[in-house]
C-alpha cells in the first residue's frame, strides 16, 4: 500500500518581524488506494502501429505525447474579491488532493498567479502573456483536470494588447485624428513601430522607457508609479475611445475591437475552456443577493460593474458562456447574501456555510475527476520501455527542427557505411566540445539513415535525458529488449533478469548483435521482411553517471568489430574529469582514426540559415546593421550553442535602441560569457537571491529537481523569502510560500536551456548543456552547502521521494 504523504507548510519569519516558526499539518484522512487499484496501475506495453514505429526507429510521423503522471491545475479569478476562497482552497482542499495524488503515484501542482508579478513583468507588460503561457502548459502537462475558474461580480483588469499589427494601429490612429480624441500624443508616445517585428507591429514600450526608476525600490519609484497610473489611465481611455470609433465606422472587426476591452480573467477562461479541454475544467460562479456598494471595501467586490454598462454586459456574457461550455457536474453557482464589507467567514454564518459548501464541492469534484483520469489511464499506461522509446523519439524530432548544414559530414558518414558493406565494420565516434551540436547532428543522422535505408532498424538513445538512459547497464538492457522485439529471442538467457551481472548482460547484447545477420539470411530463405541494416546511435556517452565503472571502458561493453549490417555510432566530448575519452576510444579501436569524426564548426551560410529561421520562429527580424553585427560576432566562434545564446539576445533587440550597437548591445565573446550575461539578466529581472538559489538547486540536487521540490526548497529559504516579501506581506497568513508566478515566470525565461526528464514518475528539471551546469557551479559555488541542507530537509519530509 502506498505510504501516506504528509503535506507540510513550513512558516518562515520575515526579517524585522516577530513571528514564531511553526509547522502545521494540513492532511486529512483519505480512503487508502485499494489493492485492486494498485494492481490495475501496473503498466502495459501497447502493441500498436505507433509502438512498431518506435521500435524500428521510424520517426517520420508525429507521436502521441508522453503519458503524464502529473495533475497541474491553473486557478483563475480576479484577486481581491476572491482572496478568502483561494486561501481556503489552500487550507482545506489542496492538501487532501495532493495526498490522494501521491497515493495514486501522481504529482499535484497548483499554478496560482495572484501574487509574484515582478516589477519587470509589470514594466514590460508581460504578466498576462505569462498567465496564458502557464494555462497552455497546464493543458499540455496535466493528466486530466487542469483549469479551475471562479467568477464573481468583478470583470477584472483590462489589459490592452502588447503588440498591434501595423495596419490596425495606423487605422486606429487615423480615426483618433479624425474624431479629435483627447491625448492622441500618449498613444503615439507609448506605442512605437518595431522594425524588428516580423511582420511589422507597433509595440507597447516598457514603462522604464520614460520612468527610469519604475523597477527600483526607492522614493523615486513611488513617485513615478503614481505618475504612471495617471498617464496609463489617460492612455487607455484615449486608445479605447479611438478603437470604439473605428469599430463604429466598420474599420475594425468585432474580434479586433474586443481585444481592447477584454479582461485578463476572460482571456484566461476562454483559453482554459477551449473545446478540446472542456472536460478538464471546473467552474464556480458566485453572485451576491441584493448588493449595495457603500464603502471602498464593498467596491472591491464589484469594480466597475455597477457604473459601466459595457463591463456589466461583459460579465453577464462571460457567465453565460461559462455555463454553456463547462460540464454540468463540474459547474456550480452560489448565491451569497450580501453584507457590507464583503465576505466575512468569522462573523457571518451564511458566509461560512458558503465556504463550507464550496470546499466540499471542489474537493469531491476534483477527487472524482482525478480518480476517473487515473482509471482512464489504466488502458493507456505504457511500460517503462515503451515510454522511454517515445521520449527519445520526440526528443529526436525536436532536435532536428532547426538543424541546417553539416552536409559534408553526413556525406562522409554515408560513404563510410557503404564501404563497410564490403569490409569489416567498426563503431564510429563523433567528438567535439560541449555546445558544438553533437546531439542535433545525431538526431539528424538518424533521420537521414531512414531516408538512405528505408528498411533499416534504428535504435537511438540520448543518454542522460531519461531514467533508463543514465547508465551503460540500463542502456544495454534497453537495447537488448528492443532487439528482442525486432528479431525475436533464441537466447536461453533472459535479459529481463535483474540479477544478471554486467558481463553476462554484455554477452547477451553481443550475441543478439551477431544474430542479426543470421536472421537476415533466414529471412531471405523464408521470404519474411525483417529490418536491415541495424543502426544503434548513442549520443553523449559523457552524460552517463557511472564514470568510475564501465561507461568509458569501451572494450567492456562495445564490440570492436561489428557483424555484417550492424552499425554503431556514439558521440562524446574529448575529455571529462580524469578521462580522455578521445584517447580511450582510439586505444579501443586500435588507433584507427578513420572511425573518429570531429563535428565541425558551423559555416557562415549555415549560421545565416539558423539565424533567419530561428528569428522567424519568434516572429522577429533584424535590421541590416544588427544582422551584420550578429553574424560578424558569431563567425569568431561558430558553435551552435554560442549562436543560440546570441540569437536569444538578438531576438530581444528593438529599433528603439541606439544605433551604436557595439556600445549598447555588446555581444559576449564566448559561450561562458554569454551564459554569465544570461544569468545576470535573470537576476536583474526576477531577483538576485531568487535566481541564484533556483539555479544552484538545479545543479546541486540529485539528477535534477522537480518543480514542486524547487518551490519547496525556495520556500524554506529565509534569504529568498526575505527578498520576495521585503516590501509586502504574503497573501496567505501563516503559510509563507514562494509565489508560483515568480517560479513560472523564471521557468518561462530559461525554458530553452532546461530539459525535462521523466524519472520515477516525476518531471525532473535539469540543464541540458554541460556548459550551463559548469557555469552555475562556478558562479554559485558559495551556495553549495546551504543548498544541500535544504535539499536534505525536503527529501526527508517527502515520504514518496526516491531520493531519500
Quick one: fold of 72-82+91-155+264-348+358-378? Rossmann fold (3.40.50)
pLDDT tens digits for range 178-210: 999 999 999 999 999 999 999 999 999 989 889
Q: How confident is the model at residue 368 (pLDDT cuts 50, 70, 90)?
A: very high
Q: What is the mean pLDDT of residues 251-275?
A: 94
**Average pLDDT, rounded, for the chain:** 85
pLDDT tens digits for range 702-718: 778 988 899 999 999 99
DSSP 473-537: HHHHHHHHHHHHHHH----SS-TT-TT--HHHHHHHHHHHHHHHHHHHHHHHHHT-----SEEEE
Give the CA-trace dihedral at 698, 704, 706, 708, to 10 degrees: -40
Q: Give the pLDDT of residue 802.
A: 45
Angle between helices 384-399 and 472-487 (to 10 degrees): 100
Quick one: fold of 384-598? Rossmann fold (3.40.50)
Q: Give the pLDDT of residue 430.
A: 97
Residue 320 has pLDDT above 80, yes or no: yes
How big is the CA angle at 149 (ends 146 and 155), to the nearest 5 degrees? 145
Q: Give the pLDDT of residue 29.
A: 42
Q: How confident is the model at residue 3 (pLDDT cuts 50, 70, 90)?
A: very low
Residue 480 has pLDDT above 90, yes or no: yes
Q: How confident is the model at residue 650 (pLDDT cuts 50, 70, 90)?
A: very high
Residue 579 has pLDDT above 50, yes or no: yes
Output Rg (C-alpha) for the chain, integer angstroms. Answer: 29
Distance, CA of 327 to CA of 593 (rounded, Å)? 65
pTM of the model: 0.81
Q: Give the pLDDT of residue 157.
A: 85
Distance between first and last Cα of the chain: 18
Q: How confident is the model at residue 306 (pLDDT cuts 50, 70, 90)?
A: very low
Asked if 664 contacts 688 with a C-beta cutoff of 8 angstroms, the reply is no
**Residue position matching grid coordinates 545564446:** 645
646-683 burial: b if 16+ Cβ within 10 Å, else e: bbbbbbebbeeeeeebeeebebbeebbebbebbbeebb
Q: What is the mean pLDDT of residues 300-322?
A: 77
> At 288, which helix (H) or strand (E)?
strand 281-289
Is 286 or 310 the better-scoring residue by pLDDT? 286
Residue 437 has pLDDT above 70, yes or no: yes
Q: Give the pLDDT of residue 800.
A: 53
Distance, CA of 582 to CA of 570 (rounded, Å)? 12
Residue 93 has pLDDT above 60, yes or no: yes
Neighbour-count burial of 794, counting CB atoms closer than 10 A to its CB (0-12 exposed, 13-18 middle, 19+ buried): buried
Q: What is the mean pLDDT of residues 502-509?
A: 92
How far lies 779's CA from each of 281, 449, 693, 772, in Å?
43, 41, 11, 10
Distance, CA of 80 to CA of 86 (rounded, Å)? 10
> At 344, which helix (H) or strand (E)?
none
Residue 790 has pLDDT above 90, yes or no: yes
Q: Give the pLDDT of residue 419.
A: 86
Amino acid at each position: 500500500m502506498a505510504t501516506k504523504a504528509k503535506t507540510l507548510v513550513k512558516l518562515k519569519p520575515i526579517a524585522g518581524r516577530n513571528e514564531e516558526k511553526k509547522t502545521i499539518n494540513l492532511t486529512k484522512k483519505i480512503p487508502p488506494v485499494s489493492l485492486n487499484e494498485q494492481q490495475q496501475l501496473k503498466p502495459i506495453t501497447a502493441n500498436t502501429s505507433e509502438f512498431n514505429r518506435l521500435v524500428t526507429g521510424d520517426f517520420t510521423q508525429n507521436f502521441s505525447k508522453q503519458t503524464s503522471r502529473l495533475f497541474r491545475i491553473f486557478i483563475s479569478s480576479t484577486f481581491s474579491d476572491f482572496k478568502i476562497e483561494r486561501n481556503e482552497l489552500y487550507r482545506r482542499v489542496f492538501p487532501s488532493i495532493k495526498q490522494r495524488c501521491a497515493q495514486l503515484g501522481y504529482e499535484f501542482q497548483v499554478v496560482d498567479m495572484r501574487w509574484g508579478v515582478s516589477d519587470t513583468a509589470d514594466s514590460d507588460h508581460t504578466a498576462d502573456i505569462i498567465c496564458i503561457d502557464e494555462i497552455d502548459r497546464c493543458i499540455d502537462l496535466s493528466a486530466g483536470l487542469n483549469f479551475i475558474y471562479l467568477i464573481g461580480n468583478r470583470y477584472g483588469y483590462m489589459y490592452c494588447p502588447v503588440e498591434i499589427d501595423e495596419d490596425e494601429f495606423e487605422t486606429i490612429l487615423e480615426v483618433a485624428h479624425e474624431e479629435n480624441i483627447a491625448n492622441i500624443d500618449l498613444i503615439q508616445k507609448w506605442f512605437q513601430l518595431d522594425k524588428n517585428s516580423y511582420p511589422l507591429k507597433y509595440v507597447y514600450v516598457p514603462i522604464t522607457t520614460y520612468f527610469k526608476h519604475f523597477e527600483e525600490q526607492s522614493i523615486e519609484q513611488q513617485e513615478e508609479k503614481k505618475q504612471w497610473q495617471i498617464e496609463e489611465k489617460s492612455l487607455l481611455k484615449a486608445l479605447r475611445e479611438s478603437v470604439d470609433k473605428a469599430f463604429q465606422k466598420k474599420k475594425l472587426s468585432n474580434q479586433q475591437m474586443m481585444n481592447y476591452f477584454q479582461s485578463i480573467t476572460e482571456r484566461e477562461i476562454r483559453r482554459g475552456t477551449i473545446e478540446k479541454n472542456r472536460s478538464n475544467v471546473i467552474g464556480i460562479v458566485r453572485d451576491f443577493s441584493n448588493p449595495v456598494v457603500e464603502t471602498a471595501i464593498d467596491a472591491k467586490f464589484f469594480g466597475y460593474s455597477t457604473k459601466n454598462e459595457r463591463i456589466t454586459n461583459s460579465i453577464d456574457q462571460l457567465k453565460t458562456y461559462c455555463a454553456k461550455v463547462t460540464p454540468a457536474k463540474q459547474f456550480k453557482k452560489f448565491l451569497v447574501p450580501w453584507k457590507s464589507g464583503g465576505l466575512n467567514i468569522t462573523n457571518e454564518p451564511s458566509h461560512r456555510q458558503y465556504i463550507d459548501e464550496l470546499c466540499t464541492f471542489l474537493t469531491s469534484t476534483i477527487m472524482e475527476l482525478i480518480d476517473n483520469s487515473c482509471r482512464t489511464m489504466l488502458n493507456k499506461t505504457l511500460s517503462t520501455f515503451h515510454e522511454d522509446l517515445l521520449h527519445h523519439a520526440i526528443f529526436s524530432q525536436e532536435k532536428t527542427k532547426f538543424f541546417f548544414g553539416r552536409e559534408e559530414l553526413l556525406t562522409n558518414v554515408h560513404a563510410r557505411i557503404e564501404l563497410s558493406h564490403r569490409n569489416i565494420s567498426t563503431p564510429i565516434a563523433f567528438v567535439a566540445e560541449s555546445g558544438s551540436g553533437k546531439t542535433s547532428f545525431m538526431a539528424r543522422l538518424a533521420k537521414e539513415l531512414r531516408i538512405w535505408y528505408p528498411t533499416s532498424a534504428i535504435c537511438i538513445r540520448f543518454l542522460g535525458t531519461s531514467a533508463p538512459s543514465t547508465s551503460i547497464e540500463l542502456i544495454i538492457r534497453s537495447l537488448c529488449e528492443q532487439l528482442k522485439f525486432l528479431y525475436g529471442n533464441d537466447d536461453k538467457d533472459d535479459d529481463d533478469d535483474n540479477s544478471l551481472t554486467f558481463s553476462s548482460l554484455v554477452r547477451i547484447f553481443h550475441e543478439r548483435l551477431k544474430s542479426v545477420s543470421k536472421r537476415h539470411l533466414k529471412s531471405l530463405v523464408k521470404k519474411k521482411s525483417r529490418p536491415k541494416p541495424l543502426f544503434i546511435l548513442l549520443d553523449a556517452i559523457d552524460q552517463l553517471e557511472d564514470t568510475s565503472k564501465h561507461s568509458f571502458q569501451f572494450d567492456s561493453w562495445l564490440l570492436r568489430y561489428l557483424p555484417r549490417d550492424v552499425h554503431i555510432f556514439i558521440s562524446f566530448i574529448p575529455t571529462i574529469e580524469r578521462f580522455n575519452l578521445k584517447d580511450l576510444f582510439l586505444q579501443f579501436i586500435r588507433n584507427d582514426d578513420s572511425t573518429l569524426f570531429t563535428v565541425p564548426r558551423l559555416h557562415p551560410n549555415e549560421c545565416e540559415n539558423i539565424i533567419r529561421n530561428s528569428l522567424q520562429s519568434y516572429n522577429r527580424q533584424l535590421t541590416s546593421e544588427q544582422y551584420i553585427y550578429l553574424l560578424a560576432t558569431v563567425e569568431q566562434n561558430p558553435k551552435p550553442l554560442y549562436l543560440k545564446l546570441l540569437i536569444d539576445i538578438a531576438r530581444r533587440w528593438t529599433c528603439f535602441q541606439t544605433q551604436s550597437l557595439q556600445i549598447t548591445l555588446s555581444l559576449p565573446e564566448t559561450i561562458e560569457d554569454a551564459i554569465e550575461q544570461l544569468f545576470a539578466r535573470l537576476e536583474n529581472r526576477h531577483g538576485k537571491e531568487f535566481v541564484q538559489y533556483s539555479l544552484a538547486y538545479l545543479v546541486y540536487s540529485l539528477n535534477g529537481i522537480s518543480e514542486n521540490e524547487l518551490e519547496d526548497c525556495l520556500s524554506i529559504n529565509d534569504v529568498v523569502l526575505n527578498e520576495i516579501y521585503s516590501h509586502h506581506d504574503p497573501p496567505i497568513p501563516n503559510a509563507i510560500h514562494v509565489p508560483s508566478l515568480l517560479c513560472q515566470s523564471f521557468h518561462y525565461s530559461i525554458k530553452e536551456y532546461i530539459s525535462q526528464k521523466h524519472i520515477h514518475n516525476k518531471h525532473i528539471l535539469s540543464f541540458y548543456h554541460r556548459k550551463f551546469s559548469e557555469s552555475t557551479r562556478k558562479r554559485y559555488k558559495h551556495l553549495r552547502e546551504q543548498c544541500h541542507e535544504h535539499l536534505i530537509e525536503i527529501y526527508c519530509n517527502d515520504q514518496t521521494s526516491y531520493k531519500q
